[in-house]
Amino acid sequence: MANAAFRGVLASNIMASIALGTSRFVFVWLVGELTEWNPATAILGIVIGLPPLLLSAWAGSLADRVSARTLGVGLFAAAALLFTISALLLHADLMTVPVAMVCALVTAIAPAMLMPLLQALVPRVVDESVLLQAVALQNLGMTGSTIGGIFLGGAVIQAFGLEAGLWLLVVATCGGVIVHRRTPLPPHTAVGTRKGAIRSAAKVALRTEPLRSLLALTTVLGVVITASTLLLPEIARDVLGTKSLAASALNVGMSLGMITTSMIVATRWQPARRGRALALAAGSAMGTGLVALGLSKVYVLTLLICVCWGLTGGIAMTMLRTLMQTHTPPELMGRVMGLASTAQNGAFPIAAAVLFALVSATSVPTAMVIIGVICSIGVWSIVGRRTIREL
């Protein structure tokens, strides 16, 4: 934290994460208010997930070739403009389900492109000896602000209405412009060529271990995040009978758990076998948490599950990102982080399509349980391999 460049990157990450997490909650709640057709939420997930799926790898390539200051400020400014337009449309009573879908799509573009840039900046501004602590702090800030932003969005919506939730996003992204512009980033040195840059990085990542397994685990993580993002608000409202504030409080419980373990990793705990710590944390929680959330019918129990899920999630996400950055060549850092964002956030539309089919055929809680079982099988098939356990 004595590193001014890292502090600036961390603050920018917080602003971007608020935009990413809060906007998803706001648009999920908005579509829920506009229609009672439950599969509409899954369709929204497909729409929100398209920008990360299509643009994250390209954004990572830009991070290797373009000034980080110019790229970051431009993306934050674009996000502020698009959230402003969405708020004005809602104020003018022009927001319908199709319009909300379009707004959700375009406002997801800039935050999706910011994530590879901000993650690739961390190894550039800190020494490798403190990379684990830096990643833990970034994970803490990102997770805390994403989920804390969801809680803040729920509180603002309940107190002042949906329009205020969109204006909150405008404030956050304008703050991102100011913070990122003032961050003392290192001089930019372009690496790689424009033609075939993404393809060459993908070949390295997908043909070598442990990057291949770590990217696969990141994909499963994206499915887990998609299920909790899209289905947890529905469960809170329709199964547990809560309002927006109590629904967003579930995410706060998850956030508190992640903040706790991320802070422990950043300040006190240095596992000798990071791969084993990742395997235990991911294997015990990723898919299992979804199953527990789908089965719970009591709000207090659901809140407790979210807290416990967050405790293990903080360890898993910190170890996953640290191991990936440690085993990535510096000249490919932006592009590999772009591939990681594609794997995690790009899983959103694919998982949302699966959830659409499951919710249409069964119910929201049942769909949560089924996707949880699938994720558990996927996680253990990856972390059970020696490639991960021996890192």
- pTM (2 decimals)? 0.71
Helix (H, G, I), strand (E, B) or coil at 119: helix
Residue 147 pLDDT: 66
pLDDT tens digits along 12-39: 988 888 887 788 778 888 888 888 776 7
Query: Which residues lie closer than 8 Å to 364 by C-beta, 6 or more apart?
Result: 38, 231, 234, 235, 238, 239
> What are the domain boundaries of the chain?
4-180+195-389
Query: Tokens for 164?
Result: 């205020």
Contact 5, 183 (CB under 8 A): yes
Residue 301 has pLDDT above 90, yes or no: yes
Residue 49 has pLDDT above 80, yes or no: no
Query: Tokens for 193?
Result: 């060529």
Distance CA 45, CA 348 (A): 6
Tell me what percent of the residues of the chain surpass a pLDDT of 70. 94
Query: Tokens for 167?
Result: 């204006």
DSSP 337-386: HHHHHHHHHTHHHHHHHHHHHHHHHS-HHHHHHHHHHHHHHHHHHHHTSH
Average pLDDT estimate for 226-244:
83
Distance CA 360, CA 336 (A): 36
Contact 351, 223 (CB under 8 A): yes
Residue 79 pLDDT: 93
CA pseudo-torsion sign 307, 312, 313, 315: positive
Query: Which residues lie closer than 8 Å to 325 by C-beta, 6 or more apart?
Result: 119, 122, 123, 131, 135, 333, 337
How many CB atoms are closer than 10 A to CB 244?
Answer: 26
Query: Tokens for 180?
Result: 């990122």
Pseudo-torsion of CA 157, 360, 289, 217, nearest 10°? -100
pLDDT tens digits along 171-193: 989 999 999 999 988 876 555 54
pLDDT tens digits along 108-143: 889 888 888 888 888 888 887 788 788 778 877 776
Q: Which candidate, 304, 312, 276, 257, places its Cα nearest to that of 384?
A: 276
Q: Which candidate, 201, 191, 182, places its Cα nearest to that of 5?
A: 182
3-state DSSP helix/strand/coil % of the chain, to nearest 5: 85, 0, 15
Distance CA 256, CA 284 (A): 18
Residue 284 has pLDDT above 80, yes or no: yes
Tell me what percent of the residues of the chain surpass a pLDDT of 90. 18
Q: How big is the chain by its Cα radius of gyration, in Å? A: 19
- Model confidence at 1, in pLDDT bands (50, 70, 90)? confident
Residue 195 has pLDDT above 60, yes or no: no
Average pLDDT across the chain, whole number: 83
How many CB atoms are closer than 10 A to CB 273?
Answer: 13
> How many helices (H) and strands (E) in the chain?
16, 0
CA pseudo-torsion sign 193, 195, 198, 201: negative
Candidates 1.20.1250.20, 3.40.640.10, 2.40.110.10, 1.10.10.10; CATH matching 4-180+195-389: 1.20.1250.20
Query: Tokens for 94?
Result: 């022009």
The length of the chain, given as a count of residues: 391
Contact 241, 230 (CB under 8 A): no
Average pLDDT estimate for 59-64:
79
Query: Tokens for 170?
Result: 């405008």
Residue 220 has pLDDT above 70, yes or no: yes
